[in-house]
C-alpha cells in the first residue's frame, strides 16, 4: 500500500526563481489537497481538486501560485517569482470522496520543504 508521495523533499532557490513541486496521491483517491505549513503553525489550506477539477482556492494562494492536476492523477504546484515569505513546508494530502457517509480522512505526504534565499 503506497501512501502519498511528494517530490522533491527539499528545495533551495533564490528569490525570483520559479519552483514546481509534484504530488502523487494514493491511487484510488479522487480528492487532492495542498497545504502550507510554517514554523510553529499548523498546516493551512491552499487548494483542492476533485479529480482534475480545481474546485476551491484559499486567499493564501496568490497569483504567483498555480496548481494543476491533469488527468486527475498526480498534481503539481508551481510558485513563480518566489519570495522569502514563500519559505515553508508544502504538504499534499489525498482522500476518497465518501459515499453516503460524511466522514472523510485526508492522508498526507512527507512534504516539500522550500527555502527561498
Please report, as ranges, the residues that interact with other proteins according to CB under 8 A. Answer: 4, 6, 31, 33, 35, 40-45, 48, 55-56, 58, 91, 93, 95, 102-111, 113
Instruction: Locate the DSSP E strands across the chain.
Output: 5-7, 10-13, 19-24, 31-37, 44-50, 53-57, 65-68, 75-79, 88-95, 107-108, 112-116
Residue with smaller CB distance to other proteins, 55 or 115: 55
Residue with smaller CB distance to other proteins, 13 or 26: 26
Residue with smaller CB distance to other proteins, 27 or 105: 105
CB of 81 to other proteins, least distance (A): 26
CB of 1 to other proteins, least distance (A): 14
Residue 55 falls in which region: left (phi positive, over 0), alpha (psi -120 to 50) or beta:
alpha
Q: Please give the grid coordinates belonging to residue 80.
A: 513563480
Amino acid at each position: 500500500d503506497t501512501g502519498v508521495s511528494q517530490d522533491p523533499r527539499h528545495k533551495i532557490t533564490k528569490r525570483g526563481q520559479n519552483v514546481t513541486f509534484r504530488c502523487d496521491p494514493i491511487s484510488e483517491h479522487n480528492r487532492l489537497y495542498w497545504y502550507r505549513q510554517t514554523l510553529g503553525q499548523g498546516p493551512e489550506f491552499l487548494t483542492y481538486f476533485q479529480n482534475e477539477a480545481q474546485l476551491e482556492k484559499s486567499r493564501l494562494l496568490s497569483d504567483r501560485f498555480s496548481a494543476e492536476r491533469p488527468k486527475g492523477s498526480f498534481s503539481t504546484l508551481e510558485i513563480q517569482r518566489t519570495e522569502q515569505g514563500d519559505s515553508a513546508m508544502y504538504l499534499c494530502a489525498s482522500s476518497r470522496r465518501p459515499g453516503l457517509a460524511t466522514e472523510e480522512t485526508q492522508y498526507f505526504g512527507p512534504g516539500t520543504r522550500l527555502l527561498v534565499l
